[in-house]
Structure 1
């Protein structure tokens, strides 16, 4: 067992619909690795897909300890890692990028061509008392950082990538489609760009009210948004609903910019190529977060520009994983971010 690490437990999904809580003894971290005591881990829809067996087989490896959204404190490090990291509060990138392929060398670590590997999907994740990660993936937090809120820095990094891709400029009209975790985090980051107007599109009135508290100037339903088609300089799509890629492109003005961050399923409505061409839209997509986006998110968190804490509505111990996972994607508008607290 590693010095400073206490015995613990891990939540293992052996296959679709089958999970167990097992006793673990944290191993001494290997060369270049850090052992982190988990403070909190968020559950998202991709975790539910893993549990239900709906995730693409190329992006999961059973049995697996899930948990890719998390925060914690370094308790031990392997050889070649700076010893002063022990005791530091931290989060870590999920993608285990190779660092040597062309895309990684260009800084696009979320597009690594060296083979897919990600904490919580192919590598043991943070639904456990401890998680071991390559130390090069750590992003250190302030000594007084709220680790409960910091567990949401993984989705925040995705949104940081989307916002940088969208290049918001002061005085622009911006729309955010979807007011889930990604959408509400987007509102916080986009508010800092001083838009002339920041509209959130979501059918749930309670989410719209929360978006206003986070800085949105208005919240409308998808039906109401249709009256503003062609009005926005920048549209950031976060919902991943079957129609939102196409409808987001309709919201953008001619020559506008659209960034897609939602995870779409087969059969989603396609973008009209005639509209795309005639409107000269710039359309980008975001999958995961490269290293620089993590840096952006952690910096914004440290400066107080990003406060994920109000998004958290439920917290459960590892023993109640079944109750926690049932809430995620269950359709209750009162359910926000669900955390596991080892």
Structure 2
């Protein structure tokens, strides 16, 4: 007699060796009386419409077709089609959905406890089918209309007694090689880890040096990108201007404060270290509160300002012996007579007095009118 309809039991996800192994081109696993999800051996239902397998069992083989995996909570076993193969002491089989009763179909001797039996299960056009042999032969043993229809993304298997299964599936990933990298460990099997290393003189800038072969022959982890180490590029700001930079190891970076800014702290000359970082500190330049009107000058340090002041002092220094007065004193004869000095004085005062009188005469009429009418 058929066993009671089982409630799915969650089997923890583990490496392939936990549930199955890869033998001679096929995947082999052993099932028990709790559902084991096939994604643990990199087999899923996404992107396919059937699965072929071989099983060696005496009775009660179960295959679950699910929308969500076993870990996701569900209301009873909704969105959970169950295919029962060789139930009722290997006499009948059925396909049932959710809490719908099972319509049994006679399939006497469909299982064999001594030999692997080739079977397939398909789900296409809202019809779930159980067949014998290979899917291409289309030997259908049980057919069931999928009501209500839903997406089938995951598969799980279970048997009344411990039983071996075989899945002729190619779950290996394709080995990928990348520039400037070396392969340390090459394992492209399901859940296998392939380990990379950057070549000498290169550093990892993005991606992963360890990648896992996952479901659908897809690698888990981004491709590693190994490049020659370089310091990060420095960009000009409103306060600091980049004059030149070489981001290779040992390269130099030259900066300057922008116009009307002065260096408060940090370094305007830096070197790219072997750690791909700049030595020194980031420069901090602050705007001058009273910038020089001579905008062609730019001083980043007090030393530069003092040097410029000394240079201008030298340029503006007056040498007594180079003045016209000094030269005239050397080539002209002094005239001590009073007439030679008093004439200049009298002439100067005369000119000043004349200018004052002219200004007063120009405003005389206006001043008289104001005085006469009391205008102030």
Pick the TM interval, shorter chain.
Answer: under 0.3
TM-score normalised to structure 2 length: 0.19
* Larger relative contact order (Cα-Cα within 8 Å, sequence gap ≥ 6): 1
TM-score normalised to structure 1 length: 0.20
Q: Which has the larger radius of gyration?
A: 2
The structure richer in helix per residue is: 1
